[in-house]
Amino acid sequence: MTDNEPRDFIRKIIYDDLESGKHTGIVTRFPPEPNGYLHIGHVMAICLDFGVAAETGGKTFLRLDDTNPGKESPEFVQAIKDDVHWLGFDWGDRLTHASDYFDHLHESAIRLIEMGAAYVDSLSAEAIREHRGTLTKPGTNSPFRDRSVEENLDLFSRMYAGEFADGEHVLRAKIDMASPNMNLRDPAIYRIRHIPHQNAGDKWCIYPMYDFAHGLSDAYEGITHSLCTLEFEDHRPLYDWFLDQLKPEHRPRQIEFSRLNLAYTITSKRKLKMLVDEGIVSDWDDPRMPTISGMRRRGYPPEALREFVKRAGVTKKDKLIEMGALENCVRETLGDSAPRRMAVLRPLKVVLTNYPEDQVESMEAMNHPGNPDFGTRALPFSRELWIDQDDFMEEAPRKFFRLKPGGEVRLRFGYIIRCDEVIKNDAGEVFELRCSYDPDTRSGTGKSDRKVKGTIHWVSCQHAIDASVRLYDRLFNDANPNMADDFHSVLNASSLEVVAAKLEPSLAAGDDAVQFERLGYFSVDAQDSTPDAPVFNRIVTLRDSWAKLEKQALQK
C-alpha cells in the first residue's frame, strides 16, 4: 500500500466521491445512544467517523441518538462527550441529539400518513408479532392497515395528545408484509411511551423509532456518508425507503462495516451494564472494563487506542482481535513515553550486615535506558532494602540467576550483594535475608569489573512509600465471552489482585504513567489515591503472558 492509496473500502468510496465531484465536502456523524458508556468497539467507529472527516477537511457531528427514553440519561451523555474528547476528537459546534429533530420527525410522520404510506395500528404488540410472519413465512396484513387517511391523522393526533396508554396504538409504515426482508414488513415509526425524555423533558408521549429517526437526522445534518456496523445492512432498504418517500433536500448514504470484537472481552453496553449493576466490577470505569473510561482510568494512552483500531482496520469481515494486539499498542506507546522507576510488589527484606547502620548513599538512576533526554534521578540506598519475593529462591535451579543462598546478584544502580543467611518466621516462611555487599562494585564507578548474571530491583526500606497496587487480569477466561450462553460462567475470578507494595520515594510526585522496572507499566488511580495512601493501577505487563494461550484459543 502506498501513502496515496486509501486504507480501507470506506475511505476508497469517500475519496472517489470527492474526486468525482459527487461531494465537495465530507460530513459524517458518530451517533451513540446515551444508554451506557462507550467501549473499545465505539473507539473504532469514533476513529473512523472523525478520522475520515478530518483527513478530508470535512466535518463530524456528535449526535446523541436518544430515541429510547427510559434507558437514557444525562450521565451517559456527559460520559460520551468526555470520552470522545479524551480520545482526541472535537465536534466543534456540532453536538446534536436525535431529539432536537422530534418536531421535524413528527411532521414527517404526518406527511407519510397523508401520502397513504403510514397507518395507525391498534393490534396488541403480541398480535403484531404474530402477523409479522417468519423468515420463511410471509406476514399477514393487520385489519387496521386500510384505515383512511382521515382516521389515521385523527388517531395519530390523539396519540400525540396523550389520549392513549402505552402500546394501545402504534404508527407503522405501509410497505410490504410479504417482503423477504423482515425490516420492510410495515415497521413501527412511532410508539406511545408516557415517560419523560432526558433532553426533551415531558413534551412528548410518542417517540420515533430508531430506523425512522436515524436516516432523517442524517438528512437534516447533511451527512454524506452514514457509517455504521454490519447489523444495519438489512435495515438499509428501510433507511432508503424513508428517504425515497420523504425526499429530503439532502440524501445521505449508509455504508456498513464489521464490528470490532476483542478477545476475552464483551462489547455490548447491555452486558457491560449488567457487570456494573450486579457489582461484578466497581463501576463503568473499573480499570478492567473495556469502556473508554475504564481504559483511561487504567492508564491506557489515547494514542495507543487510536493506533490499535488503525491496525485492526475497517473491513466487512467479522473479526475477533487478540487482546494482545491492543496491549502491544499500549506497551509500544508507553515504552517510549514512560519514565522508569523502581517498585517492589511483594516485599522481602534484605539487611546488608556489612553496610554502616546510619549511612545513606544517593545512587544515580537513569530515567529511561533508551533515551538520555529523560535524565537521571537520585535513589537513596541504605542498609535495609526491599526486594521482590520472586527474586529470591531458597532451593533454586542451576539457571536461576537471581538471589539464592550463597549466590550473588547485582542491585540495579547499586552494588553486588551476596546472600549469607535466610531468616524464617515460625511458620517456616522466608521473611528476611542477611546479605553482604561488595563496596567495590558500586554502579557507574568502574572500580571493579566483577560481573554477575542477575540484576534485580530494590527499594530502600526507610525511604519507601507504601502503596496499594492493583494488578489486573482479564475479566473473562473465555476467548469469546460474547458467545457464551451466560457470561457469568466464564468470568475470571482472579481478575483483580491488590498488593501492598513499596515504591521508591520519587513516585510521591505522581507521574502520569511509569514503568516499574521489570514489572510493567503503572499509573496512579486518580480516583482512589490520596497523598497518604497512594493507589496504583497496573496498566499492562512488560510481556504478553497470554499470547500463546490466546493464539490457541482463537485457532480452535
Would you please indicate which residues are annotated as catalytic (active-site) residues?
33, 259, 269
Q: Which of 228, 343, 433, 539 binds ligand ATP (CB under 6 A)?
A: 228
Distance (Å, whole) CA 364 – CA 444: 9
Residue 363 pairs in a beta bridge with: 379
Taking CB under 6 A as the criterion, which residues in 45-64 touch ligand ATP?
45
**Whole-angstrom distance, CA of residue 238 vs CA of residue 148:** 23
75, three cell numbers? 450521565
186 contacts 177 by C-beta, under 8 angstroms: yes
**CB 41, min distance to ligand ATP, A:** 2
Site for ligand ATP in 305-324 (CB under 6 A): none
Taking only Cα atoms into account, the Rg of the chain, rounded to an integer number of angstroms, comes to 31
The stretch near ligand ATP (CB under 6 A) out of 42-50, 353-361, 404-412, 499-507 is 42-50
Cell of 237: 432498504
In degrees, rounded to 5, the angle at the alpha carbon of residue 343 between the alpha carbons of residues 448 and 523 is 135
Q: Which of 309, 275, 320, 242 is nearest to 488 (CA)?
A: 275
Give, as ranges, the residues between 15 and 34 that touch ligand ATP (CB under 6 A).
31-33
Q: Which is nearer to ligand ATP, 23 or 259 (CB)?
A: 259
* Residue (32 or 481) nearer to ligand ATP, CB: 32
Count, residues near ligand ATP per rule CB under 6 A? 14
Cell numbers representing residue 442 in the block? 558500586
- Residue 508 CB, shortest distance to ligand ATP, in Å, is 40
Distance in angstroms (rounded) separating the CA atoms of residues 117 and 291: 41
CB 288 within 8 Å of CB 497: no
Q: Which stretch binds ligand ATP (CB under 6 A): 41-49, 132-140, 460-468, 509-517?
A: 41-49
Contact pattern for ligand ATP over residues 183 through 222, marking x by CB under 6 A: ----------------------------------------
Print the SS3 string covering 345-394: CCEEEEEECCCCCCCCEEEEEECCCCCHHHCEEEEEECCEEEEEHHHECC
Least distance in angstroms from the C-beta of 144 to ligand ATP: 31
Closest chain position to ligand ATP (CB): 41
The set of residues, in sequence order, having a beta carbon less than 8 Å from that of 304 and lying 6+ positions away, is: 326, 329, 330, 332, 333, 334
Q: How far is the CB of 268 from ligand ATP (least distance, A)?
A: 5
Q: Of 36-44, 165-173, 401-409, 542-550, which part binds ligand ATP (CB under 6 A)?
A: 36-44
CA distance 370 to 513: 17
Nearer to ligand ATP among residue 259 and residue 402 (C-beta): 259
- Measured from the CB of residue 258, what is the shortest distance to ligand ATP in angstroms? 8
Dihedral angle over CA of 290, 292, 298, 304, nearest 10: 100
Nearest residue (CB) to ligand ATP, 267 versus 328: 267
Provide, rounded to whole angstroms, the least separation between the CB of residue 212 and ligand ATP: 15
| Contact (Cβ atoms closer than 8 angstroms) between residue 79 and residue 33 | no
Site pattern 233..272 for ligand ATP (x: CB under 6 A): --------------------------xx------xxx---
- Sign, Cα dihedral of 316, 98, 218, 154: positive
Work out which of 44, 304, 379, 490 binds ligand ATP, going by CB under 6 A.
44
Q: Which is nearer to ligand ATP, 186 or 285 (CB)?
A: 285
Q: How far apart are CA 150 and CA 155, in angstroms?
A: 9
Window 443-482: contact mask with ligand ATP (x via CB under 6 A): ----------------------------------------
For 124, phi and psi rounded to 5 degrees? -70, 160
Q: Which CB sits closer to ligand ATP, 234 or 421?
A: 234
Q: Is 529 in the site for ligand ATP (CB under 6 A)?
A: no
Biggest CA–CA distance in the chain, Å, is 101
Q: What is the smallest separation between the CB atom of 293 and ligand ATP, expressed in angstroms?
A: 14
* Minimum distance of ligand ATP from residue 39's CB (angstroms): 6
Q: Binding residues for ligand ATP, per CB under 6 A?
A: 31-33, 41-42, 44-45, 228-229, 259-260, 267-269
